[in-house]
Structure formats: C-alpha cells, structure tokens
Chains A and B, each alone.
Chain A
Amino acid sequence: MSGAITHLSDANFDEEISSSSEPVLVDFWAEWCGPCKMIAPVLEEIASEKADSLRIAKLNVDEAQNVARRFEVMSIPTLILFKDGQPVKRVVGAKPKQALLDDLSEFI
C-alpha cells in the first residue's frame, strides 16, 4: 500500500472503481477551481494515513466529462466514495480534514 493517488479518466474509470478491493474516494476537481486546490493536500494526507483502508483517486472534470455527467456532478470539489463499485457517500464542497473524515467515518 503506497497511499498513491490514482488519476481516473473516462476510459479507465469503471475498471479502476470496480476492481478495487478497498473503498475508493474520487475527487472531482479542475485546474481552475480554488477550493479544489485547497483540499488537494488534505486528500494527500488522508491517502497516506488511510493507505490500508481507502484508495483516493482524482478525476479531472475537464478531461473526464462523461463520468462527471454520469454522476451528475454540478459543483466542485465533489468527493464521491465508491464501495464495491457503488457510490455510497457524496460530499460537496471543500472541508477541513477532520470534517471530511467524520463524513466518511461510517464507510472506512
């Protein structure tokens, strides 16, 4: 477990999500979104601290527009937690680390 952050695209999204044995937290983000930049380091910390129980993946909504549309992402940052390939939790907007961990606590 490296705690490395995977980058998802329209092409590899389904495979990456369905083949993961751990829950995957997908960060829908874009280059031009200030709050997205603010949570990037928070997600990196969580990725390394929770490397045993959680994978973190980033999805650039400019590039992976089909996935963003499929999950009706209308606001970024949006974080969606997938468990066994299914979305189980959605968090909209940047939050401090502890608040984010609290939101995810029942699943990880």
Chain B
Amino acid sequence: MSDVREVIIIGSGPAGLTAAIYTARAGLSPLVLEGEPSSTSDQPGGQLMLTTDVENFPGFPEGVMGPELMQNFRAQALRFGAEVQTVKASRVEFSSRPFGVWIGDPDTAEPTHRAETVIISTGAQSIMLGLDREAELIGHGLSTCATCDGFFFRDQEIAVVGGGDSALEEAQFLSRFAGKVTIVHRRDELRASKIMQDRGFANKKIEFRWNSIVKGYEGDPTISGLRLADTRTGEESVLAVTGVFLAIGHRPNTGLFKGQLALKDNGYLMTRPDSTRTDVDGVFACGDVQDDYFRQAITAAGSGCMAAIEAERWLEDNPGAIH
C-alpha cells in the first residue's frame, strides 16, 4: 500500500502552487499533481500559461509574463520541499479515509496515492462553441491560445468571439499583429471591465460586431470566414477572417469530483462561506475551480493560502489521522 501523505494538491495554477508553498513551509511535504501538457489551460501552471503580460499581479510594477510568473511560483514551492509530479489525477475517492488519488488507469483497486487532506485547485478552462469541425480546425485558423498563435496572423483579418475581459485582452494583444480584429459579441454591450473597454474602443485596429452569434466556420482546410447570425433579425452573414480566437468564458475542471463533492448549479465546486472547506471534511478547494466570480490570479493565490492554512489546522485538530 502506498504511504499516506499529509497533503495532496491537485492542480498547479496560482491557487495550487500557493497552497504548495504554504504547506511545504509548514513541513507537510505536499505532493503536487501538476497536470500534463496541453494547449488548453488545463495544464501545468494553469491559465496564466496562455497569457503574456500580467499587469495586475502585485509586486511586479512593470508587469510580468504569465509563464514566467508560474515558473517562479513553482520554483518557490520546490524550494521548500514540495514534490511536484507532471501527471494528471484520473480518479479520486473521498468516501473513505485516507483519501485515494489515482494516476493513470482509474480502474485499479489500489489508489496511486493516499492522503489525509486533499487540496483541489484544478482551475477552469476555455469553453469551445461546440460547432461542427471545431476540433479539426484548431491549428488551421481556430485557436484557443492568442499568445501562442497571434504571431501567425500578421496583417490578416481575424475575429475574437466574446465580450468579457479575456476577449478584450486577446483582441488587444492580437491587434499587435493582425491588420484588423473584429470582436464578435452576442449582446450590444460588453461585460469587460471599464479599463479594458476603454482600451478596446480606443484601438483603431479593433472593430465590434454586436448582437451576433456564431453559426459556423467557413473554409476548408483552413478558416476563411465566420458565419454569423444577427440575434435581432436572424439574418445570416459571413465575416471574412483567416483566424478565429474564442474567449467566450470558462468551465471549471470538476469532472473528477462529480458525485463526490457538492457542486454549485453552474458546476463550480461548492465551498463553505469564508472558507475553502468542501462538503467533505478534509477536502479543500481553492482557485477558479470554486470561484465563478473573481477569477483572478491574485484571488486564486489568496484562496490557495487559505486552503493550506485550513488543511494545516485540520491536521492539527485530527492528530490521529496520520497512521
């Protein structure tokens, strides 16, 4: 049987790595399952791995690159003895103690790891539109990572779908390369913050297509246009673009926890008020997987700190837990 760890942290964005720094400094030798490489934000380092300049993380007056910030978080956790494995949890078992966490084949009888407390920080990832040919068009004009792919659309006309901060940030970034960026939004006003709206409206390369929903992608094998429908009249039109970037929101990475932890109606993990405690004693959740409102790197880091302290106290209060 595997040894019982005091803390296992699932996920390695700002929340998970902050929890790792705190629990490591508290001498709890946390094991961090950081995830596996992918081109979605469900990867080691989380959503900041897909960004460039982070301007609002305190302590960096000139801003910092997202991937660099996350490398620093990770290095800081390692410095205090956190163990980081580049693997993805495939199953968890919270119905008996110590808790079980599986890597790889989820059907083996014995878990890969067992732990007295688990901190969940699996984050959230971008939603796709769910239209035909979406998977095959990735890398052929459709992108989920503006910072990775913007460069290839130099002087071209492209579209960003969405109306929140991330859509405006992507459009702003993409306007450095593209000839024109059209923001396609289903409403007639933006959800984005005032500062991002002001920047968007002031950017001569950014145009807006209001009251429009995406019906499909044109072009084969690469995108040549976006088929749009006007939400008021139903009239369809084609916006000629060679690149499409989606920024229509996020869904929490909670698939592992269905049936084991209470979820909110919108699928986010439920935590108790002013706490990171879930409905299972000894399981804590922090960062975007439980936050459908703030969703900032700094709030994620803050809640990661809370989860670490709550896990530490839980272990103090349950001294018999470690065998």
Contact = CB atoms under 8 A, between A and B. Distances in A.
Given A33-B147, A38-B49, A92 B138 contact: yes
Contacts of B148: 30, 33-36, 75-77
Nearest to A36: B148
Interface in B54-69: 65-67
Interface residues of B, number: 31
Contacts of A33: 145, 147-148
Interface residues of A, number: 25
A89 B266 CA distance: 39
B45 interface: yes
Contacts of A11: none
A94 B38 contact: yes
Contacts of A78: 139
Nearest to B141: A74
Contacts of A61: 151-152
Contacts of A68: 152
A76 B150 CA distance: 10
Interface of A is mostly: loop
Given A74-B140, A75-B139, A93-B139, A34 B152 contact: no
Given A34-B67, A93-B138, A77 B151 contact: no
B252 to A, nearest CB: 20
16 contacts: A30-B151, A34-B147, A35-B145, A38-B43, A38-B44, A38-B45, A68-B152, A72-B222, A75-B39, A75-B143, A92-B39, A92-B138, A93-B138, A93-B139, A94-B38, A95-B37
Interface of B: 36-39, 43-45, 48-52, 65-67, 70, 88, 138-141, 143, 145, 147-149, 151-153, 222, 243
Interface of A: 30, 32-39, 42, 61-62, 68, 72-78, 92-96
Given A34-B67, A38-B44, 6 more contacts: A32-B52, A32-B151, A37-B49, A76-B149, A94-B43, A95-B38
